A and B are shown apart, each in its own frame.
Chain A
Amino acid sequence: MKKYRWDILVIALLLLVSVSLVLILNLTKTDGRFVVVEIDGKVSSEYPLSQNGTFPLNGGTNTLVIEDGKAYLINSSCPDHTCERTGKIHYVGQSIVCLPNRLSVTVRGESDESGPDLIS
Chain B
Amino acid sequence: MKTGTKKLTALALTISFAMILSYIESRLPTFVAVPGIKIGLANIAVIFSLYKFGIKESLTVSIIRIVLISLLFGSPISMLYGLAGGILSLVAMILLKRFTPLKEVAISVCGGVLHNVGQIGMASILLSTNVILYYLPFLLLSGTVAGIVVGIVSALLIKRIRI
Once the chains bind, are B144 and A38 in contact (CB under 8 Å)?
no
Answer yes or no: B60 CB below 8 A from chain A CBs.
no
Main SS at interface, chain B: helix
Bound-complex Cα distance A96 to B128 (A): 14
Once the chains bind, are B102 and A95 in contact (CB under 8 Å)?
no
Collect the chain B residues with CB atoms within 8 Å of residue A6's CB: 100-103, 106
Given A11-B106, A14-B109, A25-B137, A99–B127 Cβ distance below 8 Å? yes
Bound-complex Cα distance A33 to B133 (A): 20
Once the chains bind, are A86 and B33 in contact (CB under 8 Å)?
yes
What count of chain B residues pass the 8 Å CB interface test?
37
Kindly provide the distance from the CB of A89 to the nearest chain B CB, expressed in whole angstroms. Answer: 9
Which residues of chain B from 95 to 137 have a CB within 8 Å of any chain A CB? 100-103, 105-106, 109-110, 113, 123, 126-137
Collect the chain B residues with CB atoms within 8 Å of residue A93's CB: 134
Collect the chain A residues with CB atoms within 8 Å of residue B51's CB: none
Once the chains bind, are A118 and B105 in contact (CB under 8 Å)?
no
The contact sample of 6 A-B pairs, CB cut-off 8 A, is A10-B109, A18-B137, A18-B140, A85-B30, A99-B126, A99-B127
Given contacts A11-B105, A82-B35, A99-B78, 16 further A-B contacts (CB under 8 A): A6-B102, A7-B105, A7-B106, A10-B110, A11-B109, A11-B144, A14-B113, A14-B140, A18-B144, A38-B129, A38-B131, A80-B75, A85-B33, A96-B35, A97-B131, A100-B77
